């Protein structure tokens, strides 16, 4: 059934997003969606190696600023609020470029817009769709995000204007047109002559990226610290790969196979939603088993077959096995990589509408987690391990109050040199 619905054009992911999450939050304009996909699938993917190198260059200093790096003893931290800050700061250069990637006000907005927009989603989805265009003006959560959009415009629009000015001046003097290598630039290229709200697009791109990357990073760190037997092996792998490849290259990230396996296993056990591959029927659809979907019907795939007891997809599904997908890759290397979707593992969706930013997210998470493990020791207080995920509507939510104890360590290699 997954293969049957994944690429059926009569079943719309975009329309389902409008219905489930509310277009009042995500402004899921079809033209914006096309530009977003083009930016992620084409422009960003082509520049992924350079983007990853820049993220790795910044990771050391960002993590030192956020974690107690000057302490010699164990110290408790709440990692949940730090994960989106790390994701936002490391991805900022790829999204808005210089000098905005260092603008503290913009970085704060990009993080908090993600948090506040998801809260707005939770509130407005309780109202029927026909009332949402009115209700959005009555809910305090929407007042907050409208204020953040206004503040974002004051930061980004002058940069857009400055870039346009430089292009005009270059054309006038017949010099090479200056081009930036970031999503702000790519949005203009992909949109062409079509009108495009680049500020809103930036916020939405950041929302999708930060929410996915930080949530997956948080889940992985909880799992790794709960199973410390993997920590030394992950450190050893990162050290060996970086020394062999001389840096954060595409090959280096590919060779971090244990890290990749742990990521995929963590996503299997702790999916971000109870239902993936949401679709809305744009016309009557009859499935192969005879199920008739009328226009407007919603359909989705539950994630429990990946993770719950009795899963037919995996042996011993209740166990977190960091080597699970490492072993499976021995028979089919491509199928069981973290970035690969399938009918057995659809943490990023499946088919042509699978999450397009998964390649970027995978690289960023590997960079973050490798630095965290090499720079710090990690443990939970005895008897104080993370609680099970809570279900809020259809979203799984980790315990964001969970404390982790950390202690700075001297890395075996100078990771800031790569």
Nearest C-alpha neighbor of 236 from the set 329, 370, 336, 146: 370
| 285 bridge partner residues | 293
Q: Radius of gyration (Cα) for the chain, nearest Å?
A: 22
Q: What is the spatial distance between Cα 65 and Cα 217, in angstroms, rounded to a whole number?
A: 18
Residues with Cβ within 8 Å of 126's Cβ and at least 6 positions away in sequence, in order, are none
The per-residue pLDDT for 28 is 57
Instruction: Say which DSSP state 42 is in.
Output: I
| 395 bridge partner residues | 273, 392
Q: Looking at beta carbons, which pairs linking 5-10 to residues 24 or more positions away fall under 8 Å?
A: 5/277, 5/279, 5/287, 5/299, 5/301, 6/277, 6/349, 6/350, 6/351, 6/352, 6/353, 7/351, 7/352, 7/353, 8/279, 8/285, 10/281, 10/282, 10/283, 10/285
The dihedral formed by the CA atoms of 209, 197, 96 and 100, expressed in degrees to the nearest 10: -120
The full length of the chain comes to 418
Sign of CA dihedral 267, 272, 275, 281: negative
Q: What is the spatial distance between Cα 83 and Cα 283, in angstroms, rounded to a whole number?
A: 41
CATH code of the domain containing 146: 1.10.630.10
Q: What 3-state DSSP class applies to 61? A: helix
Report the number of distinct structural domains present in the chain.
1
Q: What 3-state DSSP class applies to 311? A: coil
Domain that holds residue 396: 2-417
Walking along the chain (418 residues) 10 residues at a time, the average pLDDT comes out as: 86 83 63 86 91 94 94 94 96 94 96 91 85 89 93 96 91 83 92 87 90 94 96 98 94 96 94 88 92 93 76 84 96 94 91 91 97 98 79 75 95 87
pTM higher than 0.75: yes
């Amino acid at each position: 059934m997954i293969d049957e619905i994944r690429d059926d054009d009569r079943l719309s992911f975009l329309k389902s997003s409008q219905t489930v999450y509310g277009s009042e939050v995500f402004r899921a304009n079809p033209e914006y969606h096309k530009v977003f996909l083009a930016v992620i699938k084409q422009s960003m993917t082509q520049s992924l190696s350079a983007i990853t190198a820049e993220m790795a260059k910044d990771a050391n200093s960002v993590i030192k600023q956020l974690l107690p790096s000057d302490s010699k003893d164990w110290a408790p931290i709440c990692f949940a609020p730090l994960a989106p800050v790390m994701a936002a700061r490391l991805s900022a250069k790829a999204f808005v470029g210089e000098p905005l990637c260092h603008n503290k006000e913009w970085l704060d907005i990009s993080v908090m817009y993600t948090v506040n927009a998801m809260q707005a989603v939770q509130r407005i989805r309780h109202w029927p769709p026909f009332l949402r265009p009115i209700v959005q003006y009555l809910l305090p959560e929407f007042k907050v995000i409208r204020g953040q959009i206004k503040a974002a415009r004051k930061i980004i629009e002058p940069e857009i204007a400055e870039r346009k000015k430089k292009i005009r001046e270059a054309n006038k003097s017949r010099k090479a047109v200056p081009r930036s290598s970031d999503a702000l630039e790519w949005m203009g290229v992909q949109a062409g002559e079509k009108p495009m709200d680049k500020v809103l697009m930036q916020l939405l791109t950041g929302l999708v990226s930060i929410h996915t990357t930080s949530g997956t990073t948080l889940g992985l760190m909880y799992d790794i610290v709960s199973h410390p037997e993997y920590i030394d092996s992950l450190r050893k792998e990162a050290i060996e790969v970086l020394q062999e490849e001389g840096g954060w290259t595409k090959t280096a990230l590919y060779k971090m196979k244990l890290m990749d396996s742990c990521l995929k296993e963590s996503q299997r056990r702790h999916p971000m939603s109870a239902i993936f591959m949401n679709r809305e029927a744009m016309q009557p659809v009859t499935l192969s088993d005879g199920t008739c979907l009328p226009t407007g019907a919603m359909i989705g795939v539950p994630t429990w077959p990946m993770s719950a007891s009795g899963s037919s997809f995996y042996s011993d599904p209740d166990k977190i096995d960091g080597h699970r997908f490492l072993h499976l890759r021995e028979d089919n290397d491509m199928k069981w990589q973290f970035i690969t979707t399938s009918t057995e593992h659809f943490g990023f969706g499946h088919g042509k509408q699978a999450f397009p930013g998964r390649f970027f997210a995978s690289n960023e998470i590997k960079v973050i987690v490798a630095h965290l493990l090499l720079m710090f020791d990690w443990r939970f207080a005895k008897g104080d391990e993370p609680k099970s995920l809570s279900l809020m509507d259809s979203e799984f939510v980790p315990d964001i109050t969970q404390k982790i104890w950390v202690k700075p360590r001297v890395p075996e290699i100078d990771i800031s040199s790569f």
